[in-house]
Amino acid sequence: MSKLSDLGAWLIGSLARPFAADGTKPPGEEARAKTLDVHVHLVGSGDAGSGCRISKKFADRVIFKVLMRRMRVFERASTLDEGYVLALAELLRDSPLDKAAVMALDAVYDPSGRPDWASTHLYVPNDYVFEVAARYPSEMVPCVSVNPDRADALDELERCVARGARGLKLLPPSQGIDLADRRHARFFARCAKLKVVLIVHTGHEHAIPALDNRLGHPAKLELALDQGCTVVACHGATGLPWEWPKTLPEFLKMLRKYPNLWGDTAGLAWLVRSRDFRRLRRDDLAVERLVHGSDFPVPPHAWAFLPEIGWAGLRRIQRIRNPLTKDLALKTALGVGRASAERAYRLLCGPD
């Protein structure tokens, strides 16, 4: 579905009548392959008893305040916790996506395996993710986060898998995790045995304050890959034009070595990643290994891809108000949307 006319027809059909009156899919929709956004963030401050934490440094960022205002978080509820969830659920219901993986984020841990709250800028507990996903089972699947540096990492991994977790999110630059540390081999071997998909940030981190951006280099994934883990390299190890070292070339080489390595498209519709996204899309193997991720609440920048989509395509996509729908529409216009969303569903949820 690379042509814009096909994209428009698909979007109109998806948005106008995604469900029948009784909540089931209308005739003909059952045969359509299911889609998933593999990279959607939950955010909370703990103001409604979620157990979430957010640092003042993170909460004071202008971009965070702007995004919360755009989502009308405090118009929907008196707390950030509840307002964010209500906004996300509404957007997912109104999108053409079948489901989204909503992500926990574990803390930073000290050398003894205890939480280092002073260094943790965002914390979203696993139990909260399970609770939210249980409230919206038609729209959300839980993606937990277990920092392998925590003292009870194996126990927490087992507990989360027993509750139904299929994905595990790690953000090494902000969580302070050295994925190449041989002490983590047992943890990754257990992930592989349990068939948990590791969804790991690669490249520099921009949203959450980083402790060490060197921890986002894709070569750090080799230990987990060698243990047999299925790994999704978030952002496809793309970076911003001025960042060094360049991590995308290493990711492209690793794709040829590891059939269990994938990339996601989270944040790739952002203006400053557009150059690397173009390079990624020129690599046929990379395109075949991409799974759809929006990086919600990070918004897409359709106008950054004007040369590819043209003025008519830009106007059509800019009219879409739902950022989840807009992100998928833009990536579909760029040739990596719908197919990657179907691929994401199969990878995390299995066959339809």
pLDDT in tens, the chain (352 residues): 333 333 333 333 333 333 332 233 344 444 589 999 999 999 999 999 999 999 999 999 999 999 999 999 999 999 999 999 999 999 999 999 999 999 999 999 999 999 999 999 999 999 999 999 999 999 999 999 999 999 999 999 999 999 999 999 999 999 999 999 999 999 999 999 999 999 999 999 988 999 999 999 999 999 999 999 999 999 999 988 888 889 999 999 999 999 999 999 999 998 889 999 999 999 999 999 999 999 999 999 999 999 999 999 999 999 999 999 999 999 999 999 999 999 999 999 998 6
Distances 346 to 36, 159, 291 between C-alpha atoms, Å: 8, 23, 10
Q: Which of 275, 325, 280, 282 is nearest to 304 (CA)?
A: 275
Answer whether residue 22 is part of any domain: no
Residue 347: the pLDDT is 97
Furthest-apart CA atoms within the chain: distance in Å: 57
Residue 18 is predicted with a pLDDT of 38
For 221, residues 6+ apart whose C-beta sits below 8 A from its C-beta are 179, 200, 202, 231, 233, 254, 261
Residue 7 lies in a domain: no
Is residue 216 in some structural domain?
Answer: yes
Contact between 233 and 280 (Cβ < 8 Å): no
How does pLDDT run across 287-322, given as a tens digit for each residue? 999 999 999 999 999 999 999 999 999 999 999 999
What's 321's domain CATH number?
A: 3.20.20.140
pLDDT confidence of residue 261: 98
Q: Is residue 19 part of a domain?
A: no
Domain membership of residue 249 (yes or no) is: yes
Residue 301, burial from CB neighbour count under 10 angstroms (0-12, 13-18, 19+):
middle
Residue 38 resides in a domain: yes
Range of the domain at 285: 33-349
Give residue 235's pLDDT: 97
Contact 140, 41 (CB under 8 A): no
pLDDT at 352: 67
Residue 15 within a domain:
no
The answer to whether residue 204 is domain-embedded is: yes
- Tokens representing 169 are 């999110």
- Specify whether the CB–CB gap between 160 and 146 falls below 8 A: yes
For the chain, what is the domain count? 1
Task: Classify 153 as helix, strand or coil.
Answer: helix
